[in-house]
Structure 1
Amino acid sequence: MMPSARFADLDGASVLITGGGSGIGAALTEGFMRQGAKVAFIDIADKSSTALADRLEKELDRRPLYLRADLRDVEALRAAAAKAAEAHGDVTTLVNNAALDDGHAVEDVTVEFWDNSLAINLRPHFFTAQAVAPGMKRAGGGSIINFTSTSYLINHPDMPAYTAAKAGILGLTKGLAGKLGADRIRVNAVAPGWVITERQRELWVTDEGLAAHVAKQCIKDVMQPDDMVGTVLFLASDASRMLTAQMLIVDGGFL
């Protein structure tokens, strides 16, 4: 369920979302569109991204801008950010959402796997921020929202490259907040708990495992992608004007 709150300053805002074509990213794309924002999203999955854009155009009579790019290709990422600004004006909200949470055992990790994991799960966060920061300065400020994960906070044993990247996102968030704050650019992180996307259901969810996880949450509801939207809208809006260099954990109280 999309949040009921309205943030007037997001109406007409230029928003760029990475990984915005499926899962949490698709919910964020829809959430910003329903606020009246001009949304561009970067993804590599044509089928789901096009289907999302088609559905939103049908429902809202406005279409998000789908930009196909592989986040490992920094030049393609920069070009996509430039296209978003050209279409919608200087980006004032950036959501670094894209990630790949493939499991891996310590003994199986190669140098190539390690580098590829960080090239997807950490490096793009910096280079998208670098790409949009000049436009945010021209606009008088902005908000960068980096998705990390609670996986590194719960000592997850089965994805060390991923958890290293997710921990690194918090350090990057704080460093960028310190540098960009003078230009009224806020930089924060969101750490989701176990959000049950289609990918999660296909790869990992069992009835028993999900029930055991939810039992440890304070709020005994299964978290859905839409549950991430309200927090991100708040961080994008002027309701959080003096909030920066922070990590907000959205996990139903699991931690």
Structure 2
Amino acid sequence: MTATFHDLAGKSVFITGGGNGIGAALTKGFLAQGAKVAFVGRSDASGFVAAMAAEYGVAPLFIRCDITDTAALETAMDQAAETHGGLHVLVNNAANDMRYDAMEITPEIWDAQQAVNFKAYFFACRKAAALMADGGAIINYSSITYLMGAAGMVPYVSANAGIAGMTSALAREWGPKGIRVNAIAPGWVFTEKQETKWATPESKAAFLEKQCLKRFMTPDDMVGGTLFLASGSAAMMTGQTMVIDAGVTRTG
């Protein structure tokens, strides 16, 4: 932990996809700050919850949920707010970066990809705003893929461009309520999923060449920026997309 954000202690935080990859690193990061964390995911996370309880002395609240089921997602957020005393921070992190040839995308594929990568983000934001009686912070995870025009993943890229636009629109709409809405656009973060499904030695080496900072990014690299945006240190920051990509989009 490189910094302590004292105002996050005791705050209620809700994270989508908080049991693996970047989400797991975020769960750890907020627990280390003394926050009360709830997260949802499709797969059982009991082992991760037990590990967090052993490390931090308090277990995050895990609620098994498919975020494309809007009613289930809203119910999970209600449960988290009731358990932890309201809601102060939402982190929309869960996503599915599937690859498709554009000419092979069916309406069913398009709708399924938007459901997880975009629609769920909006309805989580809306529910969070309803639960944030005294203001709060929303952080939406986007991706540099829309800044780079990444080929082979048009539904995902489109969703992430939409997230950036939605973030700025909601920041304007909910600013008078004291709700800050920002986004984070990571570069290529090497989670277990990325290493297993998409990364090859050649693709990793090529991407590293584009980076200004010559180190592969890990989920832990996303924690500091997220904590900052959630905290009072970013009290007058809203409607922004923070790029954390080791310099790829500016110089690569």
TM-score, with length taken from structure 2? 0.97
Separation in structure 1 between the aligned mates of residue 221 and residue 140 of structure 2, nearest angstrom: 16
Is 1:43–1:70's contact at 8 Å kept on the other side of the alignment? yes
> Residue in 2 aligned with 1:151?
145
Separation in structure 1 between the aligned mates of residue 153 and residue 205 of structure 2, nearest angstrom: 22
Alignment equivalent of 2:170, drawn from 160, 168, 176: 176
SS state of the match for residue 161, structure 1?
Answer: helix
Separation in structure 2 between the aligned mates of residue 202 and residue 222 of structure 1, nearest angstrom: 15
Runs of 4+ aligned structure 1 residues displaced above 6 Å come to none
Once the two structures are TM-superposed, the CA of residue 60 in structure 1 deviates from its matched residue by 1.1
SS state of the match for residue 239, structure 2?
Answer: coil
Once the two structures are TM-superposed, the CA of residue 204 in structure 1 deviates from its matched residue by 1.4
> Residue in 1 aligned with 2:33?
35
Greater CA drift, 201-210 or 218-227: 201-210
RMSD: 0.8
Once the two structures are TM-superposed, the CA of residue 208 in structure 1 deviates from its matched residue by 2.1
Alignment equivalent of 1:99, drawn from 91, 95, 98: 95
Greater CA drift, 237-246 or 52-61: 52-61
> Residue in 2 aligned with 1:45?
43
Separation in structure 1 between the aligned mates of residue 131 and residue 115 of structure 2, nearest angstrom: 24
Please list every run of 5 or more consecutive structure 1 residues that lacks an aligned counterpart in the other structure.
none
Count of residue pairs brought into register by the alignment:
249
Alignment equivalent of 1:222, drawn from 216, 225, 239: 216
> Residue in 1 aligned with 2:5?
7
In the alignment, residue 146 of structure 1 is paired with which amino acid?
A: N
Alignment equivalent of 1:88, drawn from 71, 78, 84: 84
Greater CA drift, 188-197 or 121-130: 121-130
SS state of the match for residue 122, structure 1?
Answer: helix
Is 1:90–1:132's contact at 8 Å kept on the other side of the alignment? no
SS state of the match for residue 99, structure 1?
Answer: coil
Percent identity reads 47
Matched, 1:249 2:249: no
> Residue in 1 aligned with 2:126?
130
> Residue in 2 aligned with 1:78?
74
> Residue in 2 aligned with 1:64?
60
Matched, 1:185 2:179: yes
Separation in structure 2 between the aligned mates of residue 215 and residue 142 of structure 1, nearest angstrom: 38
Deviations 1:139-166 (A, max 9, x none): x210000000001111111011111101
Once the two structures are TM-superposed, the CA of residue 205 in structure 1 deviates from its matched residue by 1.3
Is 1:67–1:80's contact at 8 Å kept on the other side of the alignment? yes
Alignment equivalent of 2:23, drawn from 7, 22, 25: 25
In the alignment, residue 133 of structure 1 is paired with which amino acid?
A: A
